[in-house]
Amino acid sequence: MIDRDLPEMPCRELVELITDYLEDLLSPAQRTRFEAHLAECEACNAYLEQFRQTIRVLGRLPEESLSSEARDVLLAAFRGWSRR
Partner 1 sequence: MREGDERVFGELVARWSGMMLRLALSHVGSRPLAEDIVQDAWLTVLRSLDRFERRSSFRTWVLGIVVNVARSRARAERRSIVPFSASNEPVVDPSRFLAADHPRWPHHWAVEPVSWRTPEDDLLAGETRKVILDAIDVLPPAQREVLVLRDFEGLTGTEVCNILRVSDTHQRVLLHRARSRVRNALERYFTATETM
Assign residue 54 a region: left if phi > 0, alpha if psi is -120 to 50, beta otherwise? alpha
Position 27 contacts partner 1 (CB under 8 A): no
Residue 6 in the binding site for partner 1 (CB under 8 A): no
d(CA 54, CA 52): 5
How far apart are the C-alpha atoms of 55 and 32, rounded to whole Å? 23
**CA–CA–CA angle 80, 82, 84 (5° rounding):** 80
Q: Interface with partner 1 includes 79 (CB under 8 A)?
A: yes
Residue 50 interacts with partner 1 (CB under 8 A)?
A: yes
- Quote the least distance from Cβ 55 to partner 1, whole Å: 6
Q: Which residues contact partner 1 (rule: CB under 8 A)?
A: 10-13, 15-16, 18-20, 23, 25, 41-44, 46-47, 49-51, 53-67, 70-71, 73-75, 77-79, 81-82
